[in-house]
Amino acid sequence: MTSPGAVPGGAATDVLLALADDEICMGHWYATWIGLAPFLEEDLASTSIGQDELGHARALYALIDPGLGTDDVELDALVYGRPPEAYRCAWLVEDPCPAWEELFVRHLLYDEAEAVRWQSLRTSSLPGLASLAERALVEEAYHSRHARSLFGRLARGGVDARARLAAAFERLLPLAIDLFEPTEQEPAALAAGVMRSSSAEQAATWRTELDGLTRAVGIVLPWPTETSSASSDPTPPRGRRGVRSPAFATLHAEMTSVYALDPQARW
């Protein structure tokens, strides 16, 4: 039995934690916007997308230690009982994105990345991961369709709408490229077939897709000059290597507040 908050080692765990920790953070942020979005369609979208991301997170955490899938207390300990440095989420998902246009632009950037990342896991050698990727891709297709449709409407919505989108892209793109920061054991994960394409290859596909999408409406993305986080040896290390952003302390306190009341409770 795994001790509370303990995380099994290995290359597969690195891959699973990176994606699962991203998903749990995104699910949390979507939940905070339920009832606060600028129109009803987005309230409903926040509810639906947030539930999907939390479901993906739970399934990924369960794959880290299959014995946890039937024990909510131990699963909660893995998710919420770790210290901040044990998380492997990207800085993009740690950011509060206080303005709705930032929340939306993160939604677009993140779900385009998810489509690429899940595709790399469709033929994973890790038991259970390939089938999970297949199911997740079905749901992610709806997320991406929602983001792309609304992006097109906003991009054609006038000078103010385009200016807000541009400002959000300017701030968030440097964080978004870290979605493809390699984990410490990525070479081993690739060699074992846990993932079928490298982070650098995935990042290139993601960037091509985004450039095509945005240029179709006359927007050129302000890509950072240096994209070292998508290289084989990122400098400096960030989220995938356990380095937390300044925003994470508040996020971690919010996500773990209920768990901290009684770590042994069965809710």
Instruction: Write out pLDDT tens, residues 119-177.
Output: 999 999 999 999 999 999 999 999 999 999 999 999 998 899 999 999 999 999 999 99
User: Does residue 1 lie in a domain region?
Assistant: no
User: How far is the C-alpha of 235 from the C-alpha of 227, rounded, in Å?
Assistant: 10
Give burial (CB, 10 Å; 0-12/13-18/19+) of 226: exposed
Give tens-digit pLDDT for 47-81.
899 999 999 999 999 999 776 655 678 888 999 99
- Cβ neighbors of 3 (< 8 A, separation 6 or more) are none
Q: What is the pLDDT of residue 59?
A: 95
Number of domains the chain is built from: 1
For residue 153, what is the domain's CATH number?
1.20.1260.10
Helix (H, G, I), strand (E, B) or coil at 194: coil
User: Does residue 5 lie in a domain region?
Assistant: no
Placement of tokens 């400098």 in the chain: 235
User: How far is the C-alpha of 28 from the C-alpha of 23, rounded, in Å?
Assistant: 9
Tell whether the model's pLDDT for residue 25 goes beyond 50: yes
pLDDT band of residue 228 (cuts 50, 70, 90) is very low
Q: What is the DSSP letter of 193?
A: T
User: Does residue 230 lie in a domain region?
Assistant: yes
User: Does residue 2 lie in a domain region?
Assistant: no
The vertex-265 CA angle with 264 and 266, nearest 5°, equals: 120
User: How far is the C-alpha of 29 from the C-alpha of 46, rounded, in Å?
Assistant: 9
Tokens of 232: 């084989």
**What is the extent of the structural domain holding 229?**
11-261
- Cβ neighbors of 86 (< 8 A, separation 6 or more) are 5, 7, 242
User: Does residue 3 lie in a domain region?
Assistant: no
User: Does residue 4 lie in a domain region?
Assistant: no
Say what the pTM is: 0.91
In the chain, the largest separation of any two C-alpha atoms, in whole Å, equals: 58
Omega prior to 236 cis, within 30 of 0: yes
CA of 111: how far to CAs of 27, 46, 140, 145, in Å? 12, 13, 7, 10
User: Does residue 101 lie in a domain region?
Assistant: yes
Mean pLDDT of all residues belonging to the chain: 89
User: Does residue 6 lie in a domain region?
Assistant: no
